[in-house]
């Protein structure tokens, strides 16, 4: 298996031995998003990830855009660079193939519903006893020990029970969920950190172990900032829509020509940003104006100061507005829609977005590995077709078992 890395802005070079996780073998029983997000990170970094799938495949293969002739694009985005083998783990003979894979594996990763591993004869206690070197990593909806531990969950449910939905939306309207599936991919990213920590410990002790995370806990870990106002006031944190309440006129400002995503987000994070913003929007006449000179005064005139900024942004397209405001040192971002991401020069030239071969989809421009190590961004491999590596893996493992 070849893992290349792309030096940001320059040449493409390296082989599998240069990948940080070269030599690490992961047996991946996960499906949908949370678990595959964890193993995707490890595959990007050079681990040999073997995706063990049921006879009909990971259910995510049939999601958005999936047909009888191609897998869904979601499967393609979350399973780059992995290998695939089909095993019916309800059958003893097929479980023996899994056990042969685990003999030489470093990690087993799964995100089944509570109790499923035990029903398959793969309880963590059994795995630890039979494979003491193995790190067993799991994702659940809720952590063990609580009254909800046996309940199922998905991303949007986790957003609700971790408080994220309660702080998202407009103050005078019902709460809304966050657009990205933050709980799923967030749990996967945090689990990957736990797996690497367990592997580091094994390096010292020679013993594997278990690592687990729940969707609720992972989402709650991302809620620390949003919980801050509650600790100050003693009341539940409020919804503020797009505004950043402590720092008016921070928030979304409309741009020309007025399309559904023609906005910039401006964030004043330092006392010098107000004067810099006024220079950017050609309102130097307001620098030092006693009505706005302090943040507390601006916060008391939210609508007024937002109107000052929006009057200027509405006469410029969002890219021009972002460029001029950013040039003055004020954090500002154009609201890019998902199609605009495909042609964004920052993402393309830095290597975060690029063409990737995905069976049935050609070579679409897709996100890659977000990590840059020693100036290199690890290149993504293509996702596997169902059981693409099954015959070879069965042959290799059977030969190994016979020695």
Other CB atoms within 10 A of residue 129 CB? 9
Contact of 268 with 250, CB cutoff 8 Å: yes
Identified catalytic residue from 28, 71, 184, 262: 184
Rounded Cα distance, 155 and 230, in Å: 24
Where does 163-304 show beta strands of DSSP type E? Answer: 209-214, 251-254, 263-266
Q: Which helix (H) or strand (E) holds 86?
A: strand 83-86
Q: Residue 24's closest CA among 198, 166, 145?
A: 198
Q: At what angle do helices 34-44 and 182-205 cross, to 10 degrees?
A: 50
β-strands 5-7, 353-355: how paired?
A: unpaired
Q: Is 303 assigned a catalytic role?
A: no
β-strands 135-140, 209-214: how paired?
A: parallel
Cα-atom radius of gyration of the chain, to the nearest Å?
Answer: 25
Please list the active-site residues.
184
């Amino acid at each position: 298996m070849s893992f290349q890395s792309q030096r940001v802005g320059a040449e493409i070079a390296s082989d599998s031995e240069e990948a940080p996780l070269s030599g690490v073998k992961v047996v991946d029983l996960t499906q949908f998003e949370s678990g595959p997000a964890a193993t995707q990170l490890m595959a990007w970094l050079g681990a040999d990830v073997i995706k063990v799938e049921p006879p009909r495949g990971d259910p995510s293969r049939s999601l958005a855009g999936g047909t009888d002739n191609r897998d869904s694009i979601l499967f393609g985005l979350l399973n780059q660079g992995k290998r695939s083998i089909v095993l019916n783990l309800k059958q003893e003979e097929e479980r023996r193939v899994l056990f042969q894979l685990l003999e030489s594996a470093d990690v087993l990763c799964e995100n089944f519903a509570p109790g499923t591993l035990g029903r398959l004869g793969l309880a963590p206690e059994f795995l630890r006893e039979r494979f003491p070197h193995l790190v067993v990593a799991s994702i659940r909806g809720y952590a063990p020990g609580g009254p909800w531990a046996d309940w199922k969950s998905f991303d949007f449910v986790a957003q609700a029970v971790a408080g994220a939905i309660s702080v998202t939306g407009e103050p005078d309207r019902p709460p809304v969920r966050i657009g990205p599936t933050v709980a799923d991919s967030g749990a996967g990213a945090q689990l990957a950190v736990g797996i690497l920590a367990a592997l580091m410990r094994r390096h010292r002790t020679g013993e594997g172990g278990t690592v687990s995370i729940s969707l609720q806990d992972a989402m709650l870990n991302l809620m620390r900032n949003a919980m801050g106002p509650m600790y100050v006031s003693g009341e539940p944190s409020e919804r503020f829509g797009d505004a950043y309440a402590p720092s008016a006129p921070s928030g979304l400002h409309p741009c020309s020509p007025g399309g559904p995503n023609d906005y910039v987000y401006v964030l004043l994070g330092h006392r010098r940003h107000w004067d810099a913003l006024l220079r950017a929007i050609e309102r130097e006449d307001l620098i030092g104006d006693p009505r706005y000179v302090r943040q507390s005064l601006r916060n008391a005139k939210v609508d007024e100061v937002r109107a000052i900024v929006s009057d200027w942004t509405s006469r410029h397209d969002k890219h021009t507005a972002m460029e001029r405001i950013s040039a003055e040192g004020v954090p500002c971002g154009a609201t890019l829609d998902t199609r605009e991401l495909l042609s964004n020069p920052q993402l393309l030239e830095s290597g975060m977005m690029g063409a990737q071969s995905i069976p049935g989809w050609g070579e679409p421009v897709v996100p890659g590995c977000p990590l840059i190590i020693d100036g290199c961004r690890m290149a993504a491999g293509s996702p596997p077709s169902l059981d693409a590596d099954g015959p070879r893996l069965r042959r290799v493992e059977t030969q190994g078992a016979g020695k």
